Amino acid sequence: MSGITRRRALGAAASAAAGLTAVAAAHSPAQAATPHDHGRSGQEPGSFDEVYLGRRIQGGPSHGGGHHGDHGTGYSVRIDGDELHVMRNADGTWISVVNHYEPQATPRALARAAVVELQGAALVPLATPTPSAA
């Protein structure tokens, strides 16, 4: 009779898989942050102003002057002078109305992704609902 049983083989495979997962997690950039900071490095993103694929993208700390009060992000992004509505997720990533389901690591990356998604189209400002007259 062989010294290895199905139970021991499965146990060894599970241990090996857990070990590989731990090694992969230790080398993952997302694991660089502590578990309590939800991926935030503690540093706020800096300002940028560049031309990307023929579009001028700008970003920087806002002072409450954003179209929607900057949703508490304290940061505003503009494409060709028009505000791109941005939000920061709890894990530190950023999303916008243009690419809401594709989080980006930085506002600059978010602006670049929005330019690609727009494919040359103009950024249309979000309309704020107006109270109806009774």
68-96 tens-digit pLDDT: 444 556 899 999 999 999 999 999 999 99
* Mean pLDDT, the chain, whole residue set: 76
Tokens 């993952």 locate to 28
Query: How far is CA 15 from its chain centroid?
Result: 33
Place 17 in a pLDDT band, splitting at 50, 70 and 90.
low
Task: Calculate what percentage of the chain has a pLDDT beyond 70.
Answer: 60
Label residue 39 exposed, middle or buried (CB < 10 Å: 0-12, 13-18, 19+).
middle
Place 6 in a pLDDT band, splitting at 50, 70 and 90.
confident
Average pLDDT over residues 19-23: 49
Q: Which helix (H) or strand (E) holds 36?
A: none
